[in-house]
Amino acid sequence: MATTGQHTEALGRVRDELARVLVGQRSFVDRLLVGLLTGGHVLIEGVPGLAKTLAARTLASTIDARFQRVQFTPDLLPADLIGTEVYHPKTGEFSIREGPIFTQLLLADEINRAPAKVQSALLEAMQERQVTIGPETRSLPKPFFVMATQNPIEHEGTYPLPEAQVDRFLLKILVDYPDRADERIILDRMASTAPETNVDAVMSPETIFELRRAVDEVHLDEKIREYVLDIIATTRPGNPRAENESSLDLGPWLELGASPRASVALVLAAKAWALLDGRDYVVPHDVKEIAPDVLRHRLLLSFEAEAEEMTVDRLLQRLLEDLPVP
């Protein structure tokens, strides 16, 4: 059985390979790996041109996984995503033609442009790892990892993602502009009619399952468990802790707090973060580092918060700064 050091070394090779193509995106890459290591899906938000699609394609090549990209549009049909039944006149029988969702790494590009029926079909796939085509239910390949992107500045022709679907994403990752030094490197590498974007496969999909078992073995102290529960409880309106600690009272700002699914997601993500950092135990920093990505899409601001131009990320920053750390 591989040791924590060997797991960290394997993940380091993946990071190094991705860094050959993705410049200055270490935080983004690590969060993608957290999703992959926990079996969760990730929602990526960022303006066009920040290498979100390139990151997905490069990650698939690095772990030697099958990759499909689907451009979500308002006229997309569920059959375009999951497949459909095909009738054969000569035999009088139907057969299943599988759609692009039958892959290991799916990039759902501009996911919020798809209508409700497509979102429902994707929701079943994300949660159950299976799809239903006509009378038949088929399992999806393993591992099955969805990376969905959305543009934060365009709203025309988009559909709000259902709360149930948003909650199925383990993380919501915000991708920002690179700094000047990194952008200079990007210019040197990519300002070409044929930029070099090939990477070597340094990990197999089978290894992902071994790493997931290693995540399960990462130790979580009882005090860290209580810390996670304190974070989640503080996001809920009517939280009894807030009655005694006014500085932690987020009730007026939040209409909806985090669910038990968020608690589970935060623990899993913190364990994966610890493994990425080369440890087989979780420290409070792991929880604080990944908590915003786990929670930002699970909290619903109140009307008062929106009127005061409060943001979820500012609230989470306040929570993590004020809440006592074990």
- CATH classification of the domain holding 249: 1.10.8.80
169 and 45 part of one domain: yes
Q: Answer whether residue 88 is part of any domain.
A: yes
249 and 315 part of one domain: yes
228 and 129 part of one domain: no
Q: Answer whether residue 148 is part of any domain.
A: yes
pLDDT of amino acid 241: 54
* Most confident residue range from 14-28, 156-170, 190-204: 14-28
Task: Please tell me the total count of domains within the chain.
Answer: 2
Q: Answer whether residue 292 is part of any domain.
A: yes
109 and 54 part of one domain: yes
pLDDT of amino acid 157: 59
Q: Answer whether residue 63 is part of any domain.
A: yes
164 and 261 part of one domain: no
pLDDT of amino acid 6: 86
40 and 148 part of one domain: yes
pLDDT per residue over 43-70, tens digit each?
999 888 888 888 999 999 999 999 999 9
CATH number where 19 lies: 3.40.50.300
Statement: residue 240 has pLDDT above 70: no
Helix or strand run (H / E) with residue 97: strand 93-98
Q: Cis check for the bond before 143: say yes or no (omega within 30 of 0).
A: yes
Statement: residue 321 has pLDDT above 60: yes
Nearest-angstrom CA–CA distance, 117 and 76: 9
* pLDDT tier, 155 (very low <50, low <70, confident <90, very high otherwise): low
Q: Answer whether residue 108 is part of any domain.
A: yes
pLDDT of amino acid 38: 95
Q: State residue 86 phi and psi, 5-degree precision.
A: -120, 130
51, 56, 58, 61 alpha-carbon torsion, rounded to 10°: -170
142 and 43 part of one domain: yes
131 and 263 part of one domain: no
Contacts 24+ apart (CB under 8 A), 131-136: 131/82, 131/83, 131/101, 132/82, 133/82, 133/83, 133/84, 133/85, 133/96, 133/98, 134/84, 134/85, 134/94, 134/96, 136/96
The set of residues, in sequence order, having a beta carbon less than 8 Å from that of 273 and lying 6+ positions away, is: 30, 34, 282, 286, 289, 290
Measured distance between the N- and C-terminal CA atoms of the chain, rounded to whole angstroms = 32
Q: The pTM is what? A: 0.90
Q: Which of 223, 287, 218, 229 is nearest to 260 (CA)?
A: 229
Q: Answer whether residue 316 is part of any domain.
A: yes
312 and 239 part of one domain: yes
Nearest-angstrom CA–CA distance, 84 and 133: 6
Residue 273: domain span = 218-322
157 and 250 part of one domain: no
* pLDDT tier, 5 (very low <50, low <70, confident <90, very high otherwise): confident
Q: Answer whether residue 197 is part of any domain.
A: no
**Share above pLDDT 70 across residues of the chain, in percent, rounded to a whole number:** 94
Statement: residue 223 has pLDDT above 90: yes
14 and 118 part of one domain: yes
Statement: residue 154 has pLDDT above 80: no
Nearest-angstrom CA–CA distance, 27 and 239: 32
User: Between these two residues, 251 and 284, which has the higher pLDDT value?
Assistant: 284
Averaged pLDDT score across all residues of the chain: 87
- Output the CA–CA distances (angstroms, integers) from residue 313 to 227, 261, 295, in the order listed: 19, 19, 9
- The β-bridge partners of 169 are 41
124 and 257 part of one domain: no
